[in-house]
Amino acid sequence: MAQGQEQKLIGLKDFRENLASYLQRLNKGEHFLVLRRSQPAFQVLPVNDDEGDWETVIDFTKIKKGGVNIKEILARL
């Protein structure tokens, strides 16, 4: 977490119901700790594209329109 940035606490229900709004805020650099029943469930952080850590290994939408179900992939491993 960068110096001077405060992590916001949000409820899981609020996160689900207002996902589009939170995505916009993520794109502006905000990050959140999502709580479920007052307990930390997970963190949502913006991807840092400056580091170049992301690369496409395989595009499953080219194999099957809409992508491939993860259960199908795991069953074949």
Full set of structural domains in the chain with CATH: 8-76 (3.40.1620.10)
Q: Is 90 exceeded by the pLDDT of residue 13?
A: yes
% the chain with pLDDT above 90: 44
Residues 19-43 pLDDT 10s: 999 999 998 989 999 999 999 999 9
Cα dist from 21 to 16, 27, 34, 38, 76, whole Å: 10, 10, 14, 22, 37
Secondary element (H or E) of residue 54: none
Q: pTM to 2 decimals?
A: 0.57
